[in-house]
Structures are given as structure tokens and as C-alpha cells.
Amino acid sequence: MKLIKLHFLLAFVLPLMAMAQVKKSISIHNNSALDRKESVTAIKWAAVLSSFPQIDTANFVVINANTKKQVPYQLEHHGNRSIQNLLVQIDIKAKSSLRLLIQKGKPEAFASKTYARYVPERLDDFAWENDKIAFRAYGKALEKTEGDAYGYDVWVKRTNKLVLNDRYKRNEYHIDHGDGLDYYHVGYTLGAGNMAPYIKDTIRYSANYHQWKILDNGPLRSTFQLVYDTWNAGGIKVKAVKTISLDAGSQLNKIENSYTFDQNEPMPVVVGIIRREKQGIISLNEQQGIMGYWEPAFDKEGTTGLGTILTTPAKTMWVSKEQLLAKTTVTNKEPIIYYSGACWDKAGKITTAKQWMDYLNHFNEELKNPLIISVK
């Protein structure tokens, strides 16, 4: 009789012990005075493996320990064969902690919130979006045509759904079909936050990108590279590789540029935002490296807000006839990182210049106060 009871007890306890062995904990600490909302957070995959070496990448879930609900995640490769990071999207209050659990299980089907693609059917566009905003860069086929432009373009949205493919399929992205449109004019400027060498007090534009590569494509982060062939930048031969990431829930891209050029000293560069003829609201914060612009309302289409945040010292910021400009320097073959993006008042989230400038300041403070992560 005792033997039967022992077998019964083992049959009940051993599965629980096995479950406990495959459940690991991630602690995320927000020591800042900032609430984080819809924050895409990277957890080093090496740290996950060190605590959970037997993890099955096709059969695990991430659980919020408080709500007991699954958390959306992405395995980020960043162009490598091996996994680099586990990305999770979380909300976490100021001065608080969040505990996540990793365990075996079937992940729920979460809607993808980011997307990027090469668009050969539209003269080599490269377009990307998240659940807030969309952008595009211009490719080789558009060079020396009437519609050519140097900077980044903005496609405004008022839906959390992905819309790029539908807009290109309709071929009417300048008309608002209820989810937004493309009414942003770029022309021969840096548009919505592109960067270019600034040699002898002149912006030295490259040609359009000629090569592209997608490193990751959702559901929480899309990352890709655009390669710009060597050009003459005021007597300096320059080549550029631009790596752009857009996270779910963010109005701003992370842009990492790597310049190769034939001189030893640092090269001056500028980030620019095209300026409209009518009066808008401009904020130039050289100390924090933040440049913000709330455009004048554009007829019935509404108002677009633009912004950039430097992570290197801003030498100066100024407003020319055509653009808002922020100057910094780059070193040969050393990546420079900055952030650039946009919002639209008709999306209903950021509807005033103050709200937009507050968003940029909040984003900058988040960069300065990263979350602290530990895996056990």
C-alpha cells in the first residue's frame, strides 16, 4: 500500500519538478523617473542560454509574472545566423520592476507591428513602417528623374495596421483612404532626418542607395541596411552604409551610419529636416542634441511633427532657408548613431507642438536611462 502511494506521489511531483526546471526568470528594473510604454526591450540571447541551455526556440513562451499573460517577443538575428537578442514589448512604471518568465509552451499568434521591404515596382523605393508611422528612402531607379529626392520620406498613418503593401498596390498613396497618406514633400533636401557630409559649409549629398539588405523583419523590430556608393563630398571620397531600425510603438528610427572616407581627421556631417514656407514651430536644443519641428498645417491633410536626437555632441544647430540642420562629426569607419522620425496629429496621439517636443525629450531621457536586465 505504501509503495502504491509512493508511486502516486512521484507521478504527481516529478512533472512539477520538471516544469520548475524549465521555467526561468527575467527581471527588468526601471530605476528612472520615467514610465515606459510599449517599450521594445532587448535581452541578450547569450544570457538566456546560460540560464536555459535546453530552450527550444520554436516552443517557448514569455509570461508576465503579474498578469500571467503572454508577452509578445521576437528573436533578433541582426543579419547573423545565430540569435543575438530576445526582444520583448513591455510597459513598466517609473521606479519599478517587472518579472518575466520563460517556459516551454506554444506562443500565441501576435500581430506583426513592423515591416520593411524593397519596392522594385516603384522605382527601387525602400519602405518601412510600424504601428505608428511609415517611411521610405529612394533608390537607384529614381535618380535623375523628375521625382528624385535626397532625404527620407514620411508616410503618415492613423491605424495600427501595416499599410505599405496596400498603398503600393492601390498606387494611390497620395490620397487618404482612411488610414493616412503620403503628403510629405522631400525634394533636394535631407527630408525627414537624413544625414550627409558637410564640407566647406556645403551639404554634400550622395546619390540614392544602390544596395539593400534586410537584417530582421518584425514582429517587434525591423532592421535593414542601405548602401551608398562612393561619391565626391567636396574633395573627399565618401562611402556610406546606413543601418535603420524601427521598433513597434516608436515614432523614431534608430539610424546607425558608417562612413568610409579618405582622410584621418573627423568629418563634419549634418542631420536635416526640410523647412516649409509657412510658419511652423521650431525647437533647437544643442545641449541635449534634440531638434524638433512642428510643421504648419497642410491644407486638409493635417500637421506633421519631425524630430532628430543626436547621441554625439552637437557642434551647432541652425535654420537655413530650406532646412533645420544639426551639425556633428564622424570618424572614419566608426558608426555614428542618432534617432529620427515623425508623428501626425490626425493619428490622435500627438496633436500639439508641445506634446511632440515632450515626446522627443522623454525619448532622449529613456536613452540616457536604460532598463537594467538580469536573467536567472
CA distances from residue 168 to 118, 123, 153, 301, 339 in whole angstroms, order as listed: 12, 12, 15, 19, 26
Instruction: Give the three-class secondary structure for 362.
Output: helix
Q: Chain-centre distance of CA 241, in angstroms?
A: 16
Identify the pLDDT of residue 16.
39
Report d(CA 274, CA 342) in Å as an integer: 12
The three grid cell numbers given for residue 54, joined into one nine-digit string: 535546453
SS3 280: coil
358 pLDDT exceeds 50? Answer: yes
Amino acid at 104: K
User: Residue 22: what pLDDT?
Assistant: 56
Q: How confident is the model at residue 309 (pLDDT cuts 50, 70, 90)?
A: very high
Dist CA 86 CA 104 (whole Å):
15
Q: Which of 3-7, 96-100, 239-243 has the lowest mean pLDDT?
A: 3-7
Q: Across residues 267-288, what is the average pLDDT?
A: 97
Residue at grid coordinates 544602390: 210
With b meaning 16 or more CB within 10 Å and e meaning fewer, what string describes 147-171?
ebbbbbbbbbbbeeebbbeebbeee
d(CA 314, CA 366): 19
**What is the rounded distance in angstroms from the CA atom of residue 77 to the CA atom of residue 311?**
24
Question: Which pLDDT value is given to residue 348?
Answer: 97
Quick one: pLDDT band at residue 12, thresholds 50, 70, 90? very low
The answer to whether residue 271 scores a pLDDT higher than 60 is yes
Q: Provide the mean pLDDT of the chain.
A: 93
Percent of the chain with pLDDT over 70: 94
Does position 272 have pLDDT exceeding 70, yes or no? yes
- Range of weakest confidence among 4-13, 113-122, 209-218: 4-13
Q: What value does the mean pLDDT take over residues 138-164?
A: 96
**pLDDT at res. 145:** 92
CA atoms within 13 Å, Cβ hemisphere of 104: 11
pLDDT in tens, 329-353: 999 999 999 999 999 999 999 999 9
Domains of the chain in start order, with CATH, are 19-109 (2.60.40.1180), 114-368 (2.70.98)
**β strands within 218-353, DSSP E:** 221-233, 236-247, 252-261, 267-274, 281-285, 290-294, 304-310, 316-319, 323-330, 336-344
Grid cell digits, residue 179: 488610414
Distance in angstroms (rounded) separating the CA atoms of residues 55 and 107 = 14
**Greatest Cα-to-Cα distance within the chain, rounded to the nearest angstrom:** 93
174-216 tens-digit pLDDT: 999 999 999 999 999 999 999 999 999 999 999 999 999 999 9
Where residue 376 falls among pLDDT bands split at 50, 70, 90? confident
Question: DSSP class of residue 137?
Answer: E
Q: Tell me the C-alpha distance between 306 and 346, whole Å.
A: 14
What pLDDT score was predicted for residue 44?
Answer: 97
